[in-house]
Structure 1
Amino acid sequence: MQRELSFQVSPQVAANSEALKLFVAKKDGLAFSDIRHVEILKRSIDARQKNVKINLKVLVFVNEDFQEQKIELPEYKNVTNSEEVIIIGAGPAGLFAALRCIELGKRPIVIERGKDVRARRRDLKKLNIEHVVNEDSNYCFGEGGAGTYSDGKLYTRSKKRGDVKRILELLVGFGATSEILVEAHPHIGTNKLPAIIQDITKTIIEHGGEVLFNSRVVDILVKDQEISGVKLLDGQTISAKKVILATGHSARDIFTLLDRKNIKIEAKPFALGVRVEHPQSLIDRIQYHTDDRGEYLPPSSYSLVKQVNGRGVYSFCMCPGGIIAPCATSPGEIVTNGWSPSKRDQATANSGIVVEVRPEDFKKYGNSPLAAMYFQQEVEQTAWAAGGKTQTAPAQRVVDFSNGKTSSDLPVTSYKPGITSVELGSVLPDFIYKSLQKGFIEFGKSMKGYFTNEAVVHATESRTSSPVRIPRDPESLEHIQIKGLYPCGEGAGYAGGIVSAAIDGEKCAEKAVLALG
């Protein structure tokens, strides 16, 4: 017999299978010996009270043996001789689109401007140590896209958009821990995700697909308002009737190309701000109400949102036990992001703290569909100049930031290129700066201890989402003008993270294959 139960337990009980069986036996009036197994289906933390509890949803096996169900990958077909679908970008949207094409019997050609995972690491080292930005190989571009080296968080609110469980199970099939099927806020970790991405790429190639690294698309070929293929930087032309455009949110050259070719795109509001870093021990004390979280609780996270001056100010991509990384995609700009290893065992916690950017904020660029992108770019370039024209980020202690005071010194930061003290009112647009100044004070009222000079603000957090939307038909998912072009994922404005991008990639692949017949 199987029984599904939901309840709260202490962290110690949740972490010990025998203690959990004893709890279930007492709670449900069962004999301990009758309980063969307690399978955890869902787990989350409730830290609202002084004593932190773990919410569990479990399946209890009473006088019935438990057999673990191994996650199996789909039966991928050999598509070597099948009709081809071009996919631009090897991030989550592109890779999952490719897998779905193979599953449905079509041959994907994935074109990625960046390098494979191993070669990409050398460019990231140069970026961190030597401040050298490779425009094609960085934290945003390369095998796996931005997600590969930026945390691997899998939490999504996109459940209405598609099958989240399917994506998580595919990731488990490719090597992720099955814990991601259980946790309320699943996370793989930047140290684990590259191997999973490599296995996905290997599967695509083994089943007849193609993955072209170091291959930048410089033209999208259109004839009579229909896709005919793409042209690469080396002059090579690849023909196909269907192109899935899965570039990610930082492919400014592609956005510019579309605008130049009069392929309709639209300026899209996004959010921009800073990345703030606290000692992880401080966040743990605030959230868990204790000086020592102990061995059973993970490093604590937070999620904050306030209305300030009529705008939303909120935390974004919070990384417990994590590191701040330089994520510029061109020389002459400063962009920050955060990531965590699987154990989230670094000494600091960081999060983007961002402010809503609206159409009226980038009106100085006129009616250009690239207006939001130009606004984003200008702030990043201003930060670069203020930091000394290297990847050194301009920074300020949090209380000093809200008081408009240049910090006399700065704490040690996880941001490897380093930071320099700058009054950030000279870097950020005035409405962003003033909203953040008050926002940090308001955050401190909700999280006592958050508003402290132990924390340091890094400029800028600017790649929260794409600054453009590429419009598509809601039914066919094709571009509203160009038949056979499928704008997809974060770069097109239809996703906001690994899982939602993967879901959108699958959807676009299904529509493209269906249209091919």
Structure 2
Amino acid sequence: MQKDIEITINPSDSGKDDIILDKILVLLKMPAARIQGFKIHKRSIDARSRNVIFRLQLKVYIDEPKPAEAFNIQYTKVDGKKKVIIVGAGPAGLFAALQCIENGMKPIVLERGKDVKQRRRDLAMINKQGLVNTESNYCYGEGGAGTYSDGKLYTRSNKRGDINKVLQQFVAHGADEDILIDARPHIGTNKLPQIITAIRETILEAGGEVHFGQQVTDFIIENGKIKGVIINGELQLEAQAVVLATGHSARDIYTLLDRKGILVEAKPFALGVRIEHPQEIIDAAQYHCPVRSEFLPPAYYSLVEQVGARGVFSFCMCPGGIIAPCATHQEEIVVNGWSPSKRNNPFANSGTVVQVTLDDVPGTDPLRMMNFQAEIEKNAFTAGGGNLVAPGQRMVDFVEGRVSADLPVNSYLPGTKSVMLKDILPGFVADSLRNALPLFGKKMHGYYTNESILVGVESRSSSPVRIPRDRETFQHPQVEGLFPCAEGAGYAGGIVSAAIDGVNCANAIMKLI
């Protein structure tokens, strides 16, 4: 017999099986001999009171043995099978490739950037010298933006697909099994490259292909059907299906589709700043104590406020993290955040953004939101003065409308420059942030402080363009065999939801070819 239960436990005891077992026995009121084992399904922190506890959801095995865990996934060989071109080697592209193999199709993954090992050198150039390689950076390259921007696996996409299958595939390729139980699973930027490499090796061993430095520059379309793609302006590659998994920053793909008369649509997105505090401030606020216990992880927060008709919200919160320069073009500033697996850096940062609607950027151009986004990023670069130095301002100074005399020590490696952020951000964005931040401070003690810094701009929270597709077939309504996928098409947000969308596209292709 199996029984699902929930218990609470002190943080210091959360890893002690004997104490967990004692709590199981008390709750179920049965002798220890009947309990053959237990499995933790979910683990979360409850910090609503001053006594912080862990909540554990367990499956208890009564009078029957606990089954052994198995994470090795066997893939059949797909040499000589029907080919599927996958454009982009981010989570959507890689998981679409794995699912293609599972479905008996041969994936050919085309990535404009470099593999994870080669990418490191270009990221070092960005951080140390402020030089952006437009084909290899935090957004472009093997693993996509997620590889070097944290590896958070938390998602609410329960209705889109099998979250556990995605997490189990990560574990099978080297991720810690804790991601299967944590309420907010996280791999860490330091561990993701090895996991991504392992996924690539699985694809290759099964007979799939993965190619780097291969930028799709055109589509081969005949009579409304996709026939293949053109790579780097010359090489033709044919297939009956093409998955567009290019991520939210592939402006050249949006421009190409629009130029060819293939429908794309302007899409609302969000714009703002990345806010960084000393981690100890966030810990004290969330755990209700001056010093965080060694048994508790660095604290997380999620804040949202409605300011007039606009939502202002935090996202991609990185405890113990670092602010990273994530521009994909020269003379632009884009910031994002990431954390190592231990989340042991002294700062906590989070994107804090304001909704931007289609009405805010009037017109009919389907690329107008993208162009608006790029304009703000260029303004930020100019304000910083070059070399990816980012414009910054202390929080209270920003709200009260004065230039910061100096800026606090922070994690952004290219450096920050004190400016008036209201001169960079659109007026409605600056005003919304100015109203929301003191309200956030009322929700979380210590948040509203001049010890924190606002760094601009956080502009790539989601794609500013949607590539439409049919809800049932997942294909573009004008081009049979073209499958817009995940973040770059406007249908996902984050590693897990993108991976699930890649799986869904691969399953939809089965019905076509």
- For residue 2 of structure 1, report the CA deviation from its aligned partner: 3.7
User: 1:154 is matched with which residue?
Assistant: 153
User: 1:18 is matched with which residue?
Assistant: 18
Task: Give me the whole-angstrom Cα distance separating, in 1, the residues matched to 2:398 and 2:230.
Answer: 47
User: 2:40 is matched with which residue?
Assistant: 40
Contact preservation (8 Å) 2:7, 2:23: no
Asked if 1:167 is matched to 2:170, the reply is no
- For residue 33 of structure 1, report the CA deviation from its aligned partner: 5.8
Task: Give me the whole-angstrom Cα distance separating, in 2, the residues matched to 1:224 and 1:62.
Answer: 62
The CA deviation string for residues 144-177 of structure 1, in whole angstroms up to 9 with x for no partner, is: 0011001111111111111111111111111111
User: 1:369 is matched with which residue?
Assistant: 366
- For residue 66 of structure 1, report the CA deviation from its aligned partner: 3.2
Task: Give me the whole-angstrom Cα distance separating, in 2, the residues matched to 1:36 and 1:103.
Answer: 35
The CA deviation string for residues 170-203 of structure 1, in whole angstroms up to 9 with x for no partner, is: 1111111111110111111111111111011111
Task: Give me the whole-angstrom Cα distance separating, in 2, the residues matched to 1:346 and 1:389.
Answer: 26
User: 1:188 is matched with which residue?
Assistant: 187
User: 1:479 is matched with which residue?
Assistant: 476
Task: Give me the whole-angstrom Cα distance separating, in 1, the residues matched to 2:62 and 2:364.
Answer: 66
User: 1:57 is matched with which residue?
Assistant: 57
Match for 1:400: what amino acid?
D
Contact preservation (8 Å) 1:15, 1:296: no
- For residue 31 of structure 1, report the CA deviation from its aligned partner: 3.7
Contact preservation (8 Å) 1:152, 1:189: yes
Match of 2:394 among 389, 393, 397: 397
The CA deviation string for residues 222-269 of structure 1, in whole angstroms up to 9 with x for no partner, is: 111111111111511111121110000000000000000010000000
Task: Give me the whole-angstrom Cα distance separating, in 2, the residues matched to 1:33 and 1:165.
Answer: 31
- For residue 5 of structure 1, report the CA deviation from its aligned partner: 1.3
- For residue 63 of structure 1, report the CA deviation from its aligned partner: 5.3
Task: Give me the whole-angstrom Cα distance separating, in 2, the residues matched to 1:135 and 1:216.
Answer: 12
User: 2:345 is matched with which residue?
Assistant: 346
Asked if 1:139 is matched to 2:132, the reply is no
User: 1:452 is matched with which residue?
Assistant: 449
User: 1:312 is matched with which residue?
Assistant: 311
CA-based RMSD:
1.2
Task: Give me the whole-angstrom Cα distance separating, in 1, the residues matched to 2:467 and 2:238.
Answer: 22
Mean Cα deviation higher: 461-470 or 62-71: 62-71
Mean Cα deviation higher: 227-236 or 120-129: 227-236
Match of 2:489 among 463, 472, 492: 492
Equivalences for 1:5-404 in 2 at 5 Å? Answer: 5-32=5-32, 35-62=35-62, 64-73=64-73, 75-233=74-232, 235-363=234-362, 366-404=363-401
Asked if 1:506 is matched to 2:503, the reply is yes
Q: TM-score, normalised by structure 1?
A: 0.97
Task: Give me the whole-angstrom Cα distance separating, in 2, the residues matched to 1:287 and 1:68.
Answer: 37
Contact preservation (8 Å) 2:217, 2:233: no
Gaps of 5+ in 1: none
The CA deviation string for residues 328-366 of structure 1, in whole angstroms up to 9 with x for no partner, is: 000110000001111111110000000000011111xx2
Task: Give me the whole-angstrom Cα distance separating, in 2, the residues matched to 1:382 and 1:139.
Answer: 20
Task: Give me the whole-angstrom Cα distance separating, in 2, the residues matched to 1:472 and 1:3.
Answer: 43
SS of aligned partner of 2:217: strand
Task: Give me the whole-angstrom Cα distance separating, in 2, the residues matched to 1:262 and 1:2.
Answer: 57
User: 1:410 is matched with which residue?
Assistant: 407
SS of aligned partner of 1:158: coil
SS of aligned partner of 1:316: strand
Match of 1:419 among 382, 405, 416: 416
Contact preservation (8 Å) 1:151, 1:339: yes
The CA deviation string for residues 316-336 of structure 1, in whole angstroms up to 9 with x for no partner, is: 100111111000000110000
Match for 1:21: what amino acid?
L
- For residue 514 of structure 1, report the CA deviation from its aligned partner: 2.1
Task: Give me the whole-angstrom Cα distance separating, in 2, the residues matched to 1:37 and 1:310.
Answer: 52
Task: Give me the whole-angstrom Cα distance separating, in 2, the residues matched to 1:354 and 1:479.
Answer: 30
- For residue 49 of structure 1, report the CA deviation from its aligned partner: 0.8
Mean Cα deviation higher: 301-310 or 506-515: 506-515
SS of aligned partner of 1:351: strand
User: 1:442 is matched with which residue?
Assistant: 439
Match for 2:368: what amino acid?
A
Contact preservation (8 Å) 1:17, 1:38: no
SS of aligned partner of 1:299: coil
- For residue 15 of structure 1, report the CA deviation from its aligned partner: 2.6
SS of aligned partner of 2:158: helix
Task: Give me the whole-angstrom Cα distance separating, in 2, the residues matched to 1:63 and 1:205.
Answer: 44
- For residue 67 of structure 1, report the CA deviation from its aligned partner: 4.1
Task: Give me the whole-angstrom Cα distance separating, in 2, the residues matched to 1:45 and 1:445.
Answer: 22
Match for 1:475: what amino acid?
E
- For residue 60 of structure 1, report the CA deviation from its aligned partner: 2.6
Task: Give me the whole-angstrom Cα distance separating, in 1, the residues matched to 2:396 and 2:32.
Answer: 54
Gaps of 5+ in 2: none
Task: Give me the whole-angstrom Cα distance separating, in 2, the residues matched to 1:125 and 1:390.
Answer: 13
Contact preservation (8 Å) 1:20, 1:38: no
- For residue 24 of structure 1, report the CA deviation from its aligned partner: 2.3
Mean Cα deviation higher: 23-32 or 7-16: 23-32
Report how many aligned residue pairs link the two structures. Answer: 513
The CA deviation string for residues 467-496 of structure 1, in whole angstroms up to 9 with x for no partner, is: 011111111111010111000010000111
Task: Give me the whole-angstrom Cα distance separating, in 2, the residues matched to 1:259 and 1:456.
Answer: 39
- For residue 64 of structure 1, report the CA deviation from its aligned partner: 4.6
Percent sequence identity is 55
- For residue 4 of structure 1, report the CA deviation from its aligned partner: 2.2
Match for 1:4: what amino acid?
D
- For residue 105 of structure 1, report the CA deviation from its aligned partner: 1.1
